[in-house]
Amino acid sequence: MIEVRNLWHIYDGKKEALKGVSLTIGNEIVALVGPNGSGKTTLAKHLNGLLKPTKGEILVDGLDTREHSVAELSRVVGYVFQNPENMFFEENVFKEVSFGPKNLGLSDEEVEERVRWALREVNLEGYEDRHPYSLSGGEKQRLAIACILAMKPKYLVLDEPTTGLDEKGAESVKKIVRKLHRDGHGILLITHNMELVLELTDRVILLYNGEKAFDGGVKDFFELNLRDYSLDKPALLKISSSLGLGFFRDLESFLDSALRRVSQ
Amino acid sequence: MISSFYVERDSFLHSLDPRVKLVASFLGIVAMILFNSPYALLPLFLFILLSLRFLGKIGFREQWQVLKPLVPLMIITMIVWPFILKPPLFGLFFGFGYALRLGALGLITFSLLLTTKQRDLILGFIKLKMPYEIGLTLTIALRYIPTLYTLTMTIMDAQKSRGLELERGNFFTRVRKTIPVLIPLIISSIKTAHELSIALESRAFGTKKKRTFLHDIKMELRDYISLTVILGLFIAAAVLRYKYGVGYVRI
């Protein structure tokens, strides 16, 4: 479990980015939402120790992030950055994925096994010899996830994993997230995409001006007046509520219900 | 410092014509190279500090921010000289002058950027008969320093999250560890440059030889007076140096 206790972060002694945020994350899919500049990334960077608290503390499975380096914490919390290209530097996919496990000081066999496993998890088998930069946008995103996955962290932070991807690319990222959750990973999803939140997550944490404005179930979240936080409801929920049909997580169940109503 | 170095202030230096500031910066740098004795360089250095503080309203704390990254280099310069120049104490003293030179070069360059909008800087370059392309290239280069800095930080964070420990190991392992940061940085820079050139061309860059300007700059009485004062000071410095040998130590 990741426990964030009364976390404050003040940049350069001036800008208050986080003002007393407390939360816990277990083996669940949690969405971290909020307008630009609300402190989402600042919060996420604390979870693997890239940033250290100005005040308050974070315990990752009992480890205090102030006392452990990013390298140590990276075994427990994986952070997939928004732009995959910001991390690719090797000449092929295999070497790229093995960078992380190698840094953990594993044996060559163990590294190879992990790389194969991670590539299988994200459906990139057979891509081992391709150049990372020659992949498509969706493949790059999946490769980025594999790079972190190969370090076998228990928790994963995904920063805008579907931004800029086409429907097919986004769909495969969603599938991976669901599978990782089933396998026991805790996942924190930073996103602006409310459709993704609706489809994928059980719990939503809303940050606003560096404070936690909401923390609860996805259904309750979409009952908030999201306009107050520069966010908007997904079209699906707008249509279903104007039809008086209630709450749906995906298009299929909405269509089922709508068709049933029409046929009655 | 995200997009530009410029800081908005209501000061004499801010309101001065960019051409005057360009000439002054150039002459200032030449003056610092003219002398090599700390007896001359220290007063010159202090003169720069004070004129930035009082004419440019750039506080000492902000000046320190500019100088801070140069300090290691300045210290190295200073401790290298006693090995070249004997007696050692004299060498150290002489090295101190060289360190001041270095600091002054940094201060002068940054004070130009801190007090002049990029737009005005380009205009200044062009009005001094520099080709527009060179002025633009120069300002784009300066403009991208903070952007590249931010990008470097992001890439470092991304690689640290993959278990890269930049702080560990001896000098050579550390150099090798910069590869995972340097390669994404270089690729990203080349891509950005390419996109930038497309953006420039799609806005008809280079269609006409003679450009027109939305904003124009004009030399006013104040600017002419300042220019005269600067030229006067420089000539005085040159005369002191070459006619009377002030502030120069022959080694």
- Answer yes or no: do A88 and B184 touch at CB < 8 A: yes
* pLDDT tens digit sequence for B94-103: 899 999 999 9
Domain ranges of chain A: 1-76+154-169+177-231, 85-152, 234-264
What's residue B30's pLDDT?
A: 93
Does pLDDT of A241 surpass 90?
A: no
Q: Is B166 exposed, middle or buried (0-12, 13-18, 19+ CB in 10 A)?
A: middle
* pLDDT tens digit sequence for A18-44: 999 999 999 999 999 999 989 999 999
- Among A79-83, A129-133, A138-142, B208-212, the minimum mean pLDDT is found in B208-212
* pLDDT tens digit sequence for B214-233: 888 888 899 999 999 999 99
- Answer yes or no: do A71 and B165 touch at CB < 8 A: yes
**Which residue among A48, A89, A133 sits closest to B161, beta carbon to beta carbon?**
A48
The CA distance from A47 to the nearest CA of chain B, in Å, is: 11
Regions in chain B scoring below 50 on pLDDT: 1-2
Could you tell me how many CB contacts below 8 A there are between chain A and chain B?
64
What's residue A254's pLDDT?
A: 86
Block residue for tokens 């929920």: A237
Does pLDDT of A244 surpass 50?
A: yes
What's residue A248's pLDDT?
A: 84
- Answer yes or no: do A99 and B155 touch at CB < 8 A: no
What's residue B1's pLDDT?
A: 39
Least CA distance to B189: which residue of chain A? A86
- B186 interaction partners in chain A (CB closer than 8 Å): none
Sheet strands (E) in A86-227 = 155-159, 186-190, 203-208, 211-217
Is the CB of residue A206 less than 8 Å from the CB of residue A222?
no
Question: For the residues A55-64, what does the mean pLDDT come to?
Answer: 93
- Answer yes or no: do A86 and B184 touch at CB < 8 A: yes
* pLDDT tens digit sequence for A62-83: 999 999 999 999 999 999 999 9
The CA distance from B188 to the nearest CA of chain A, in Å, is: 8
State the greatest distance between any 2 C-alpha atoms of chain B, in Å, as a whole number.
63
CATH code, A1-76+154-169+177-231: 3.40.50.300
The torsion angles phi and psi of A215, rounded to 5 degrees, stand at -155, 105
pLDDT interval class at A206 (50, 70, 90): very high
Distance CA A6, CA A17 (A): 13
What's residue B4's pLDDT?
A: 64
Tokens encoding A256:
């089922």
- Answer yes or no: do A69 and B180 touch at CB < 8 A: no
- Answer yes or no: do B157 and A50 touch at CB < 8 A: yes
Q: Is A99 on the interface with B (CB under 8 A)?
A: yes
* pLDDT tens digit sequence for B139-177: 788 778 888 999 999 999 999 999 998 877 788 888 888
Would you give the end-to-end CA distance of chain A in angstroms? 47
Q: Is A147 on the interface with B (CB under 8 A)?
A: yes
Least CA distance to B182: which residue of chain A? A89
- Answer yes or no: do A103 and B155 touch at CB < 8 A: no
- Answer yes or no: do B180 and A100 touch at CB < 8 A: no
- A81 interaction partners in chain B (CB closer than 8 Å): 154, 157-158, 161
Q: Is A111 on the interface with B (CB under 8 A)?
A: no
**Which residue among A74, A85, A89 sits closest to B163, beta carbon to beta carbon?**
A74
Q: Is A133 on the interface with B (CB under 8 A)?
A: yes
Distance CA A88, CA B116 (A): 38
